[in-house]
Amino acid sequence: MSQAIVQFSQVHHRYPGGGSDVLNSIDFQLDAGEMVFLTGASGAGKSTVLRLIALLSRASRGQIVVAGANLAQLPRRQVAPYRQQIGMIFQNFNLLNDRSVFDNVALPLVIRGHSHQDIGRRVRAALDTVGLLNRERARPETLSGGEQQRVGIARAVVTKPLLLLADEPTGNLDPVMAQEVMRLFERFNDVGVSVLVATHAIDLIERMDRRIVHLEDGRIVSGAKMAAASKLPLGVL
């Protein structure tokens, strides 16, 4: 059995002031080196799963273990070092527009205290991987949506994280760019990074032979590879 990098056990979550649980009895495992897609309609709980893993919220009930750390017991001062192990990619990119592409990608390395030489080497390698080496001095706002997302990806992977989380990473991209972004995730996964992608883009992922976990109203209704999942009744996916 593979070692789990993310393990959800009977996780419930309700936002403060919310009437009902956003997540209901979630049992879910992401193995080390695995790439999984989280699908479901808006409000199904995909983003909440990622938020709980990224410790942007704490689960109301149940246990979440990420890379051996029980998140419910992680003290506040350990949250930042914990997040440094995770690469996060957002639909709205979350780039700093007053800094260059290079500086945006370098930020996680600066936070971790890498040397100037190491930062230069790693940032250029990451930008090369996402095909933006020639734009390192540009400001993010001068780039296209696809390029901005690739900067976000470079920033997420520059520290060689254990786990890559992506929340609707192709939501603001055209189909060609979206496919390119998905291919990048596969490349990182191929070198051992565990990847969890929350997405609506069924047409984009159906060609990829990866496990899909489908959520409906905060419950997992299926968790199978695309080939198996495609046999489910229409509407489940």
Contact residues toward another protein (CB under 8 A) are 3, 5, 32-33, 54, 56, 77, 80-86, 88, 90, 94-96, 98, 107-116, 118, 155, 159-160, 162, 191-194
Q: Indicate the SS3 state at residue 189.
A: helix
Q: Whose Cβ is closer to another protein: residue 88's or residue 178's?
A: 88
Give me the least distance between CB of 59 and another protein, in Å please: 16
Minimum CB separation of residue 176 from another protein in Å reads: 27
Asked if 206 contacts 226 with a C-beta cutoff of 8 angstroms, the reply is yes
Nearest partner of 164 among 194, 199, 198, 208, judged by Cα: 194
Residue among 149 and 214 whose Cβ is closer to another protein: 149
List, in sequence order, the alpha helices (H) in the chain: 46-53, 79-83, 101-112, 116-129, 145-157, 175-190, 202-205, 226-229
Q: Are β-strands 194-198 and 163-167 bridged in parallel, bridged antiparallel, or unpaired?
A: parallel
CA nearest neighbour of 28 among 42, 40, 41, 38 = 38
Instruction: Report, in Å, the least distance between residue 30 CB and another protein.
Output: 12
Q: How far is the CB of 3 from another protein (least distance, A)?
A: 6
Q: How far is the CB of 237 from another protein (least distance, A)?
A: 28
Closer to another protein by Cβ: residue 11 or 35: 35
Nearer to another protein, 103 or 206 (CB): 103
CA distance 170 to 201: 8
Strand pairing of 211-216 and 23-31?
Answer: unpaired
Q: Considering the complex, state which of residue 162 and residue 226 has its C-beta at the smaller distance from another protein.
A: 162
Whether residue 36 contacts residue 28, with contact meaning beta carbons closer than 8 Å, is answered with: no
Beta carbon nearer to another protein, 112 or 183: 112
**Contacts of residue 235, Cβ cutoff 8 Å, sequence gap at least 6:** none
Q: Which is nearer to another protein, 61 or 121 (CB)?
A: 121
- Give me the least distance between CB of 158 and another protein, in Å please: 10
Q: Which residue from 7, 55, 14 is spatially nearest to 31, judged by alpha carbons?
A: 7
Shortest Cβ distance from residue 82 to another protein (Å)?
A: 7
Asked if 91 and 146 touch (Cβ cutoff 8 Å), the reply is no
